A = this chain, B = another copy of it.
């Protein structure tokens, strides 16, 4: 049989990379729950009718399912894998609205699938981490600010480069475009959304193709260049464009409130942020890693007034949420060797094995340590001390445990400090910092809340 090859666009990590990913997931879950967000897992599969026509290029990226030996009548046709977590969330809410309490805050960490052409930073299967708040009939703008602030704070606790959040408001853009006499708003939004990739020089001809006059194109590009963390500066720049429409005032007011609520140097208004998905109606946000902007946004989201309600036919269920692209972040940092986890094993202690006859005694030592919450492994076969310790070091295990002949004669060696000392099996505890540091861009980093 031929050697198995990786599938392009379907990433998998090595054990030390996966260990870190799991710690990040656990940390984010705990963080979200601490702020009152409830866990949700939706099925990976939706009826195609729920997924289709959500905007931009999503349709052509949808993976549909078929049973290998399917007959035409068995009804599996029309099922497809979800491409994000917002649409399934909205569908779940509209299906279960009677069982939920609103406003409902939920987090959701799951894989999604997109049949994209695989390239740097683009995956066909990847992990998304979403938080959303959804209301019944109305949802205060304050949640837009809360969600942006949660995103800022959650990203700040991760072992990744600093992040800047760029915020905009769809109403502001729509007001500008309507004020310019444009009717096909979505097409203009989609063209402007490409600015980061293709620049003004790439966007301008796209706008001209839509039939816009040069003056309008120029104003749109001038607007798209506005970027500042001070709402007064943003408002002055927008007013200076000389366009007026009620939605401009509404959008500016909303943008100001979100900036003020989430206020920090690394949260800025940026009027080129448009987001390709059709369902956004107000606030939109994207996050970039500072110094690594070329990989594109690593988090994004916004406000959607009509998504959930439109599915169930009941009253409106407005929502606002953001999504963190865990796989995009980790895939890039791992791939560029910017983030290195030296711990391959979850264990802090390796109990060394003097001989096969000592196995039961060694297992008892391990069980004693485990009962106190200390992750512990017993070396798997008879070998010299040196070989056993070298193996522990390779796995990133910090402590080698030398079993004693009785309860009192145990010794422990710190494989980093190189120190060996007597130890009491009944009481020894490692400190929570007794693990090998992460390395981010050459700097050593503690595991902080990731343990």
Contact = CB atoms under 8 A, between A and B. Distances in A.
A29 interface: yes
A430 interface: no
Contacts of A347: 33, 36
A226 interface: no
Contacts of A60: 67-69
Interface string A14-38: 1100110110001001000111111
A3 to B, nearest CB: 6
Given A68-B60, A312-B3, A34 B380 contact: no
Interface string A373-389: 11111001000000000
A375 B33 contact: yes
| Residue among A36, A42, A81 with max Cβ neighbours from chain B (10 Å) | A36
Nearest to A372: B34
Interface residues of A, number: 87
How many copies, total?
2
A52 to B, nearest CB: 8
Given A3-B312, A65-B65, A394-B101, A18 B36 contact: no
Contacts of A80: 68
A10 interface: yes
| Residue among A40, A67, A395 with max Cβ neighbours from chain B (10 Å) | A67
Interface in A285-333: 310-313
A125 B3 contact: no
B10 A39 contact: no
A435 B92 CA distance: 27
A80 B40 CA distance: 25
Nearest to A10: B43
Contacts of A374: 34
B12 A125 contact: no
Contact of A36 (B3, B81, B142, B346): B346
Given A310-B1, A394-B101, A18 B6 contact: no
A225 B144 CA distance: 64
A329 B281 CA distance: 41
A34 to B, nearest CB: 5
Given A63-B65, A101-B394, A29 B22 contact: yes
Given A19-B38, A39-B346, A44-B125, 14 more contacts: A4-B91, A4-B95, A14-B96, A15-B38, A18-B41, A21-B41, A22-B39, A36-B346, A36-B347, A45-B113, A45-B124, A59-B68, A60-B69, A76-B115
Q: Considering the complex of A and B, which 3 residue pairs feature the smallest CB-CB distances, nearest first?
A: A36-B377, A33-B346, A67-B115
23 contacts: A4-B95, A7-B45, A7-B79, A10-B43, A18-B38, A22-B39, A26-B26, A34-B346, A34-B373, A36-B345, A36-B347, A44-B111, A44-B125, A45-B113, A61-B68, A63-B66, A63-B68, A64-B65, A64-B68, A65-B66, A68-B80, A101-B344, A142-B359
